[in-house]
Chains A and B, each alone.
Chain A
Amino acid sequence: MIEAMPPGLILVVGALLIPFLPKRWQPGLAVALPVASFLQLLTLEPGLSHQLRLFDYQLTVVRVDRLSLIFGYIFHLAAFLAAIYALHVKDTVQHVAAMIYVGAAVGAVFAGDLITLFVYWELTAVSSVFLVWASRTEAAYKSGMRYLVIQVGSGVMLLAGVILHASATGSIAFGRLIGDDGLLSSASAGVVLIFLGFGVKAAFPFLHNWLQDAYPNGTVTGAVFLSAFTTKLAIYALARGFPGTEILIPMGVVMTLFPVVYAVIENDLRKVLAYSLNNQLGYMVVGIGIGTALSLNGTVSHAFAHILYKALLFMTMGAVLYRTGTIKATELGGLYKSMPVTTVCCLIAAASISGFPFFSGFVTKSMVISAVEHHHMTWIFIGLLVASAGVMEHSGIKIPYFAFFAHDSGLRVKEAPWNMLVAMVAGAALCLFIGLYPAPLYSMLPFQVGDYEPYTAGHVLTSFQLLVFAIFAFAVLVKTGIYPPEKAGINLDFDWTYRKMLPALIRKIGVVINRFTEAFSIVASHLLGRAYRLVYRLHGPTGVFARTWSTGAIAFWAVLGLFGFLLLYYWGR
């Protein structure tokens, strides 16, 4: 019975029950739901699938394999930690939205066909937007609107692609969609549309700005949920449908690189984390593009580790925002004195994302990079190496440095609430555990590879060299005053096109149309005036048609007319 239920259903149905509980029990149910759903997940065996007939289509509502299972596990773990982190929240909307969102994401990774995937895909969009709106500010409302339009748009693209694909091939199965050549140029239009639909959610370059726009506007706890699911669902979908798609390799490198530069100059620390998230997705996308067992395992394991340290980073910055009321680097600093536990957790997350040996990012990112090395992709390798120094910059140093150290802002606050601390300490412990003992994570990976050993002396040494020298560069830059000081303000990104340029363009077009109609009305009234004057001249009191003509003249014209008719008749015969 319990195996027949689609995974995620417990979360979605449970979420709908939350409002009927007294307010103080609601957060508790939100913690219990991922646990209950996880227990159901444990009963699922790879190979299991459930079919359902809908009209002419055979839907595979549930398909269990190793790829879906590992995403299922990490989604539950993240939801559980985030729910603990949100235990103090008294806002029913957030608990309901978060649990529907998690349920939809879980359902999506177990969807065996594209139509079921589409349904869950859209459900993640419409549920998660409430985690942005729940901030209840004007900025959050507008940002949420943009987020919703883009996310639903991604689903619409997916659906259009699915319809084209299904009518061309007759199949709605969600398996490998890209051809064996790995070229998008030889794929059908439907497949390309599906790829773009996934690409929006995966924050491909130029499709990425919803991420940096919406997540920093999310609530303190909502941003933690948001950081875990949407983009990793897209990574899962790409890994399932587009492994070995060549274009993903250079695209992934671009994704790792450009956010790094933005992160250097961004003042909103949660926005820095959003850029950093974008950058981390790049490594996963490269792994999918290479498409070998090693690189795909790298992608999946990196997604697993990433969900934990990224959620932890959002938790620590959320705690700072919760206690101080600001997350601007210009207004923070010196918080290690009043929030020591949060500081330590943040440092552990920072070390993990930077890929320091003995922390989680090291044992996962290195798989992707090893795959790149293995294929002798020198430029890709160099790109990822630069990006790794960049990760050290924004997430490894900037986040902890400007929040907790740097110049003392004078802010003296209380340490984060106990529930936040529990979630953060647990997250930090997991980051360390994965780094120190990667075997359990490796054993869950979807593909069989020979023993991969991250801890070789050479690999540990080179990682330390890269990262410690990067820290040294930071120290020199700060000491010499070259490092740019934090500055209040925003930085233009691609969203400028739809937040400024397009509205301005539309206004311009409106102005042109106005001018045109104005000019037209001037010309028209001029012409009408002339026509009126002509009519007046002819028919007015002095006009030629207004004269009284004599009877004799009329008779003359009549005879002339009749004579003319006679002539015409004669010649016409």
Chain B
Amino acid sequence: MSDEKKFWLDQPGNVNRLYWGLVVVCVLLGTADFFIHRHAYSAWEGFPNFYGFFGFAAFWVIVIIGKNLRRLLWRPEDYYDD
């Protein structure tokens, strides 16, 4: 495997670069809210970067709920015996 082609993602630091790139994109998207007019049906929806915060929080909550649900629902693969 040593002669295998090296991939960009394999290089240390590149994953970190992606991460910080993502941070930059998030900041840009959040601030864009001040420049782009959008139609809000409700007042809370008009809060700056509402959708960004909502997406972040919802994602986080879903993962945490899933993680905790696993304690309750997890069974070994042969549980149903088939």
Contact = CB atoms under 8 A, between A and B. Distances in A.
Contacts of A265: 66-67, 69-70, 73-74
Contact of A466 (B39, B55, B65, B69): B55
A451 interface: no
Given A264-B67, A489-B76, A389 B38 contact: no
A492 B73 contact: yes
Contacts of A458: 36-39
Chain A contact residues: helix, strand, loop or mixed: helix
Contacts of A471: 22
Contacts of B23: 472
Given A138-B82, A389-B55, A462-B38, A468 B29 contact: yes
B77 A385 contact: no
B40 to A, nearest CB: 8
Interface stretch (A115-123, A157-165, A480-488, A565-573): A480-488
B19 A261 contact: no
Contacts of B61: 386
Interface centre among B10, B23, B26 (most CB of A within 10 A): B26
B22 A465 contact: no
Nearest to B38: A458
Given A405-B9, A458-B39, A474 B70 contact: no
Interface centre among A142, A385, A457, A470 (most CB of B within 10 A): A470
Given A472-B23, A489-B74, A142 B66 contact: no
A78 B15 CA distance: 37
Contacts, number: 160
Interface in A452-481: 456-459, 461-475, 477, 479
Contacts of B30: 465
Chain B contact residues: helix, strand, loop or mixed: helix
Given A260-B62, A489-B75, A470 B70 contact: no
Given A139-B82, A466-B54, A491 B74 contact: yes
Contacts of B50: 462, 465
A472 B62 contact: no
A337 interface: yes
A337 B9 CA distance: 10
A44 B60 CA distance: 50
Given A489-B74, A490-B79, A468 B26 contact: yes
B37 A393 contact: no
A53 interface: no
Contact of B75 (A263, A390, A491): A491
Interface string A544-561: 000000000000000000
Given A456-B39, A469-B54, A490-B80, 18 more contacts: A264-B65, A265-B69, A337-B4, A376-B41, A378-B42, A385-B54, A385-B58, A386-B58, A456-B38, A465-B33, A469-B52, A469-B53, A470-B55, A470-B56, A470-B58, A484-B70, A491-B73, A491-B75
A-B pairs with lowest CB-CB distance, top 7: A458-B38, A264-B66, A389-B58, A466-B55, A465-B52, A473-B59, A465-B51
